[in-house]
Chain A
């Protein structure tokens, strides 16, 4: 998954630092999907607004959902054994960050990095 994100980011002409940020964010979010969501799917898409291209990643799981999204985004907060930096940290590494979660239904995190 990391490799795919890297390939797409390179193809879109992202700088090395921007590639690294995006791949790192993807790694954090994939771990959440796997560890807390019980596995799921990642979708990559190239998006564009009127002036620039971007890469959008969507992580979706059918896990238990996040009870308190605001709390989950806080640095250092974790219900597992992690550092609690994944969600809040990956938000800082991208330009747009959206999270939708329903108790008992699952979680969808969508991040976009613009070139």
Chain B
């Protein structure tokens, strides 16, 4: 079966979608990613969609679902690299990706994940000190 590769880099999982995303492929990615988050204990997931030339309501929903599932599994998700024409179309379609963190490119996405995690770590440290 066709699969999108998931790479582990330090405390993050990296996914770069380089193929035409059909519905079954999106669902397989969702299953693979959630399984991999649990198995590897990572705290962050970065999904690069710069090669996707459309994001329709199904792919949009799957990205939102992945972010929500990851959050429940204690991992942050950031979606990076959306093409401007795709962003324009998505909003007009009525899919606003609420609840999904986005960044312009991989580098900014990594920064966002790191700062989200260090904030979370800082919060825990404070909690400990006051306990």
Contact = CB atoms under 8 A, between A and B. Distances in A.
Contact of A28 (B53, B57, B86): B57
Question: What's the dominant secondary structure at chain B's contact region?
Answer: helix
Interface residues of B, number: 21
A20 to B, nearest CB: 4
B53 to A, nearest CB: 7
B120 interface: no
B58 A93 contact: no
Interface stretch (B33-41, B43-51, B89-97): B89-97
B56 interface: yes
A16 interface: yes
A51 interface: no
Interface of A: 2-3, 6, 16-17, 19-21, 23-24, 27-28, 31, 75, 82-83, 85-86, 88-90, 92-93
7 contacts: A20-B53, A20-B54, A20-B83, A20-B86, A28-B57, A82-B61, A89-B94
Interface of B: 20, 23, 53-58, 60-61, 83-86, 88-90, 92-95
